[in-house]
């Protein structure tokens, strides 16, 4: 199979199905809704869709707890409807990638039901089972095999009476970890991949894929490490590269597809071990977290202000660290983080800061991902109480805070800062009562409350406004896709010490691109670097209607951004 590296020219739109569009009126987003919005997605200029999990699931972690890998959640539709969506996407030039979640399953998966029933059945070794350090049930003094923490729900081990053993769950109790050391499990992963690729999907986003190989000794970790005890023994584990190369050579190499792996706590140097191009490449790219102000998706709860210098340092390290050997992924929002305007931008200057944020990443080297609602500038919602949250991760974080004696008011403040619910409020299509989210007969109530600001922030209003953030995203994505320098050019940063401006150049393929973004509501001054004559360049994008210049310099208004282009003579 010839691989075309089509993903290097792609821009993906991430759909979190439960909150994108409800097409049958029951209050839950579904594939009927997606089908009605394919023209809208294509209108953004994106070339692909990433679906967060669509599979049957008890929804303990909203689809990341899979009960059946070979079907569609009945709440979302069925396989025939999925094929309609897939065909409709392909007819519009949109590739489709699926979430592949194989570090763990749901505890309601048939594999686990059988595995937990006894120690001598066909699935007995499909999960990670161990005897306790101290024998017996917890109520009889039995203790877990080690002191690892779950990232979602207390300790990482749960006792099963039928086996008189404990199973490992790095995430929630209802998400038992698969035993990837078992060749039968790896064969099943290959079968899952082939099933969806044969249906016609174009690749996978592989959930926490760097977690799939555990240190077989399962040793205790330092008792002083908070919240993530044990991670060094299961992240980048002893056989992770062997297993990923198996999946690559046995399955992925036989399809013109792409893979992007979620990789918490990883450096550019480590990333090259996964995605350096060549015969042993395992993934096409990885999702990293440093530019989000954290090493992984679970540390948004550490209260710290946005630091532009840290953001630029993280972005620059990946742009330069992978430049010669591998490809980057680019994103600002996804289902695991609060809304970026509320975190890194300004709700007061929502449109302006949204434009500056867009420019800060859309012209970098790599494949951009745009999360649903990001293109219209959706912001964080507000919870009146912790109990309004629907997120298992939030419940765990608040439990930890309460155990430490943190006052309830502080728990609520931190929840409103960090909960993943912010990214999961229903998509805001119009100013109507359900934000246009509920379709069909309109009788359903959205599964989660819509953000009250939908009366002002919605697709319909943005579509009518030529200066809207939505219009800007369309222009920026169109510009990115037509410029060879974005794929092929080098990366050079200016004003590294500034905590107000992010300025960088992309140079190559006979073109030069200069991107200047303000991250402050104060007036900021920018003087063009040597060799960049702004008057001779083409102003391709600006966050404001006009763009005055003076002596090859300009003053940036609050959160202003500009993109200049030069086509150099050969």
Give catalytic residues, as residue numbers. Answer: 207, 262
Whole-angstrom distance between the N-terminal and C-terminal Cα of the chain?
A: 36
- Cβ–Cβ < 8 Å for 148, 154: no
Comparing C-alpha atoms, which of 130, 154, 134, 155 is closest to residue 143?
134
Q: Decide the pairing of beta strands 203-206 and 95-100.
A: parallel
User: Cα 459 to chain center, whole Å?
Assistant: 22
Whose structure tokens read 């710290």? 304
Vertex 435: Cα angle to 430 and 440 (nearest 5): 100
Main-chain dihedrals φ then ψ at residue 336, nearest 5 degrees: -100, 0
Helical (H) or strand (E) element with 244? helix 240-250
> Angle at CA 397, nearest 5°, toward 152 and 58?
40
Gap between the Cα atoms of 524 and 307, Å rounded: 17
Sole residue written with tokens 């494949």: 367
Supply 284's token pair: 């096409």
Contacts of residue 310, Cβ cutoff 8 Å, sequence gap at least 6:
293
Helix intervals (H) in 390-433 = 392-403, 408-418
- CA 155/CA 171 separation, integer angstroms: 9
Where do the DSSP E strands lie in 1-126?
12-15, 48-51, 95-100
Q: How far is CA 45 from CA 41, 161, 372, 471, 564, in A?
A: 8, 54, 14, 11, 20
DSSP string, 510-533: TEEEEEEEE-SSS-EEEEPPTT--
Identify the CA nearest to 61 among candidates 193, 208, 231. 208
Q: Which residues of 4-26 are buried (b: 16+ CB within 10 A; e: fewer)?
A: eeebbebbbbbbbbbbbbbbbbb
> In Å, how far are 173, 179, 233, 293 from 165, measured between CA atoms?
14, 15, 20, 38
């Amino acid at each position: 199979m010839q691989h075309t590296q089509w993903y290097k020219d792609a821009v993906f739109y991430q759909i979190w199905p439960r909150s994108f569009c409800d097409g049958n009126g029951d209050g839950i987003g579904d594939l009927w809704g997606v089908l009605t919005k394919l023209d809208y997605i294509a209108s953004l200029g994106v070339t692909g869709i990433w679906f967060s999990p669509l599979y049957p699931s008890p929804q303990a972690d909203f689809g990341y707890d899979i009960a059946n890998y070979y079907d569609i959640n009945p709440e979302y539709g069925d396989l025939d409807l999925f094929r309609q969506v897939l065909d409709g996407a392909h007819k519009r030039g949109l590739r489709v990638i699926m979430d592949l979640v194989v570090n763990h399953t749901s505890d309601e998966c048939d594999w686990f039901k059988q595995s937990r029933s006894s120690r001598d059945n066909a699935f007995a070794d499909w999960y990670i089972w161990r005897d306790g350090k101290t024998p017996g049930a917890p109520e009889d003094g039995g203790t877990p095999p080690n002191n690892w923490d779950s990232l979602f729900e207390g300790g990482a081990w749960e006792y099963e009476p039928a086996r008189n053993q404990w199973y490992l769950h790095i995430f929630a109790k209802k998400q038992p970890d698969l035993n990837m050391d078992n060749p039968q499990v790896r064969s099943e992963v290959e079968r899952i991949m082939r099933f969806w690729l044969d249906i016609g999907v174009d690749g996978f986003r592989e959930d926490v894929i760097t977690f799939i190989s555990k240190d077989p000794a399962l040793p205790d970790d330092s008792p002083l490490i908070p919240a993530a005890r044990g991670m060094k023994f299961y992240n980048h584990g002893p056989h992770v590269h062997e297993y990923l190369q198996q999946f690559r050579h046995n399955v992925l190499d036989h399809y013109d597809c792409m893979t992007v792996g979620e990789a918490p706590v990883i450096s550019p140097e480590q990333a090259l071990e996964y995605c350096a191009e060549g015969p042993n490449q395992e993934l096409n790219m990885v999702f990293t977290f440093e530019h989000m102000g954290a090493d992984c998706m679970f540390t948004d709860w550490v209260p710290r202000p946005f630091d532009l210098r840290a953001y630029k340092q993280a972005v620059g390290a990946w742009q330069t660290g992978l430049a010669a050997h591998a490809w980057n992924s680019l994103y600002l929002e996804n289902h695991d983080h609060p809304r970026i305007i509320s975190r890194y931008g300004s709700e007061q200057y929502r449109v302006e800061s949204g434009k500056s944020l867009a420019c800060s990443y859309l012209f970098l080297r790599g494949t951009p991902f745009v999360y649903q609602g990001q293109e219209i500038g959706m912001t964080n919602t507000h919870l009146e109480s912790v109990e309004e949250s629907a997120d298992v991760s939030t419940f765990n974080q608040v439990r930890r805070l309460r155990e430490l004696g943190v006052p309830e008011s502080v728990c609520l403040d931190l929840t409103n800062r960090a909960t993943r619910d912010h990214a999961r409020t229903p998509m805001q299509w119009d100013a109507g009562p359900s934000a246009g989210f509920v379709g069909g007969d309109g009788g359903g109530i959205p599964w989660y409350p819509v953000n009250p600001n939908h009366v002002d922030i919605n697709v319909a209003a943005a579509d009518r406004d030529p200066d809207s953030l939505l219009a800007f995203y369309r222009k920026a994505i169109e510009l990115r896709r037509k410029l060879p320098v974005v794929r092929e050019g080098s990366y050079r940063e200016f004003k590294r010490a500034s905590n107000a401006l992010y300025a960088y150049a992309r140079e190559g393929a006979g073109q030069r691109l200069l991107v200047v973004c303000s991250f402050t509501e104060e007036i900021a001054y920018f003087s063009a670097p040597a060799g960049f004559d702004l008057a001779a360049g083409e102003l391709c994008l600006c966050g404001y209607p006009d763009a005055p210049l003076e002596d090859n310099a300009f003053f940036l208004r609050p959160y202003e951004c500009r993109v200049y282009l030069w086509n150099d003579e050969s």
